Amino acid sequence: MTVLVTGAAGFIGFSTCLRLLASGKQVIGIDNLNSYYDPALKNARLAQLEAFPNFTIRKIDIAVDDLLTVFTAFEQRSITEILHFAAQAGVRHSVMMPFAFVDANVRGQVAILELAQRLPALRHIVYASSSSVYGRNAALPFRETDRVDQPGSFYAVSKRAAELTAECYHHLHQLPLTGLRFFTVYGPWGRPDMAYYLFAKAITEGRPVTLYEGASLGRDFTFIDDAVDAICAVMDLPPSDQVRILNIGSNVPEPVARLISLLENFLGRKADIQMTPRPSADVEYTWASLEQIQQLIDWQPATSLETGLEQFSRWFLSYQHS
């Protein structure tokens, strides 16, 4: 029994691999280690995974390479789950580089589903979607049954296209699929392009912190350990006759201003806040309904924003000085 994890050197992929490896699972990771953000962080994550004897890494691009040639016949027969987290991230980056999102998020999804059809022992494919698909939806909290046809960014378009691709492959090939709409996942070893990480870096370096205008600017922040708990529990429960979509969030939206205040406290420095208009690609508020996932599994996010940011800040200060 082997779990194939794409995006294994990415934040969510790495964190999930650590949990699986620690539990004794055999894991094959895939990552192209691209330079969207500093590959040194990805390599540092990967070094931790490679310390496990039950981990193997394949440094390939799923949107380009022939995946069937990457695995031995034995590996193809042994893969029982796919956790597909490889993606091109970045809401604002998608405005400037839309073709990169087509390649990674749409073509990459097709490549994984084509591979999945040829794995005889496969039981479940869990793939990463995003809260961004809710776009300009004004109904709160965001529910999986809401309309998602008013995207606010091309990143959202690419993620919704991946969901529709999954729906089609289930219809045509009966693949067991679950899509997870992640809401602002944060924590140690996180992505340096995300706001909380950028805020921390600016605060510690004494540079201005850019905060978007709007008294109601808020996010449903999800601590990484809580997200991994949900991923592992869902992975073990493949759907029988439908394609599932599930929100992964905290169901406790927080003002972004409070996020900055907590970072100031844990990093020991005041932020020089500069207000700026919010870009049209960024939504003002996110809030995850958790009714669907809680009907499926006994899962409740356990980490408060204060606790999560304290853990992140300790890691951040250590990593910056390493």
Looking at residue 245, which CATH number applies to its domain? 3.40.50.720
Contact 263, 205 (CB under 8 A): no
Instruction: Give a yes or no: residue 208 inside a domain.
Output: no
Neighbours of 297 (CB within 10 A): 15
Q: Token match 């289930």: residue?
A: 170
Instruction: Give a yes or no: residue 203 inside a domain.
Output: no
* pLDDT tens-digit series, residues 134-159: 998 888 999 999 999 999 999 999 99
Instruction: Give a yes or no: residue 290 inside a domain.
Output: yes
Query: Known catalytic residues?
Result: 155
Contact 301, 222 (CB under 8 A): yes
Q: What pLDDT is attached to residue 125? A: 98
How sure is the predictor about 322, in pLDDT bands with cuts at 50, 70 and 90?
confident
Q: What pLDDT is attached to residue 93? A: 85
* Average pLDDT, integer, range 29-55: 96
Instruction: Give a yes or no: residue 319 inside a domain.
Output: no
* pLDDT tens-digit series, residues 85-104: 999 998 888 888 999 999 99
Instruction: Give a yes or no: residue 126 inside a domain.
Output: yes
Mean of pLDDT over the chain: 94
Cα–Cα distance measured from residue 217 to residue 206, given in angstroms and rounded to the nearest whole number: 24
Count structural domains, the chain: 1
Q: What pLDDT is attached to residue 281? A: 63
Q: Helix 195-205 and helix 305-320: axis angle, to 10°?
A: 50
For residue 163, the enclosing domain spans 2-185+222-250+286-302
How sure is the predictor about 247, in pLDDT bands with cuts at 50, 70 and 90?
very high
Instruction: Give a yes or no: residue 322 inside a domain.
Output: no
* Average pLDDT, integer, range 199-218: 88
Cα–Cα distance measured from residue 247 to residue 264, given in angstroms and rounded to the nearest whole number: 30
Instruction: Give a yes or no: residue 155 inside a domain.
Output: yes
* Average pLDDT, integer, range 210-226: 87
How sure is the predictor about 120, in pLDDT bands with cuts at 50, 70 and 90?
very high
| 318: DSSP letter | H
How many residues are recorded in the chain? 322
Q: What is the separation of C-alpha 81 from the centre of its chain, rounded to a whole number of angstroms?
A: 17
Neighbours of 96 (CB within 10 A): 9
